[in-house]
Amino acid sequence: MAEGEWARFWQHEHLPGVDLLKARYVRHTFTRHSHEGYVFGAVSGGVEDVFMPDGTVHAGPGSVILINPEVPHSARAGVPEGWVYSTLYPSAEVVARIAEETTTLRGTPGFGEVDVHDPEGAHLIREVHRAAEEGNALAADTVLKVLVARLLRRHGSALPARARRSAGARNALRARAVLEERMTEPPTLEALAAELGTSPFALLRAFKQQYGMPPHSWLTNARVRRARELLDTGTAPAEAAAAVGFTDQPHLNRHFSRIVGVPPGAYQRGRGAPYEIGRPVREAGGARGAEVGRASGVEPGRGADGTGSAARKNVQDRSETLHVPSRTWQNSRHPHHPHLYVPKEEPPRG
């Protein structure tokens, strides 16, 4: 990660079906991808540019970012200083359950606008994070439900029913099934089109229209999703990389970080026991996964950049098996969380 960047992607054991990401990104770019569930994000500093199929939104403080399941998007900093944000990723089941209990929506709940001005909603997103970080399961669960109900009532509607599939859409669906089945050894576009009885360009057009990205980009996204499932069950990152068709772990690391926001090892630690530079740290009230060490960043303090100026030490991330030598990183002790570190890359040697 670039200097001044930090990120924490984790779960709280009493918030099933919800992932949490809090981060400051400056140079980091999210490539085009989609999520199985929803995205609720609140920018607290800087500006995030989110590139959607219908255009670009520029999200700043007071905004809430609302992205429906399976909608392709990418993101990057909208200003030189980057952006700081707190994001929740509730599953479709979590949102549907709350919608059924608190609204009159019928069908699949969704949101018509990506960027809405809702300072109170943004505050509630940050409050879910704060309660979870403090280990207050009752508050975290309560505020989450209040937040989702509020977003649905103020900004939600039922997603339109899917139109009858055209021949091109049916070919795209069949192509997706082939790619899922042969994830480790996918066919070429030419071979895939021939197998489906269509032309490569016709298949490419149909696939992009159906899924918002070409087949090779969709496959990368699907591989990262499958890798997440394997990491959730305790599979080592190197084994997960091979199992989903990446050439090696660095290949997985690169794509995983561009889609999830943290490397595979950092993601996996957010699912299990937290670590501090090679040794466990005390868990607080059921909160899972304190993110520390090389390239993963740390949980933010009160400042916008999360950097500190206290004692420094060189560390290596020993929890991740790499196929190439890992680089040496300088780490500043965090001013508000002394047990956490902000990664700082050594200057290039010329």
> Which residues have C-beta within 8 Å of that of residue 136, sequence separation ≥ 6?
285
pLDDT at 85: 98
Domains of the chain, first to last: 6-158 (2.60.120.280), 167-267 (1.10.10.60)
First to last CA, the chain: 20
The confidence score (pLDDT) of residue 347 equals 39
Return the pLDDT at 281.
Answer: 31
* H-run or E-run covering 312: strand 312-315
Classify 190 as helix, strand or coil. Answer: helix
pLDDT in tens, 84-138: 999 999 999 999 999 999 999 888 999 999 999 999 999 999 999 999 999 999 9
> Quick one: which H or E segment has residue 219?
helix 215-232
Tell me the pLDDT of the chain averaged across its residues.
83
Q: Is the pLDDT score of 341 beyond 50?
A: no
Q: Which residues contact 131 (CB under 8 A, 6 or more apart)?
A: 137, 139, 140, 143
pLDDT at position 272 over 70: no
Token couple for 156: 């939600």
Q: What percent of the chain has pLDDT over 90?
A: 72
pLDDT tens per residue, range 157-201: 999 877 777 899 999 999 999 999 999 999 999 999 999 999 999
pLDDT of residue 18: 98
> Which pTM does this prediction carry?
0.79
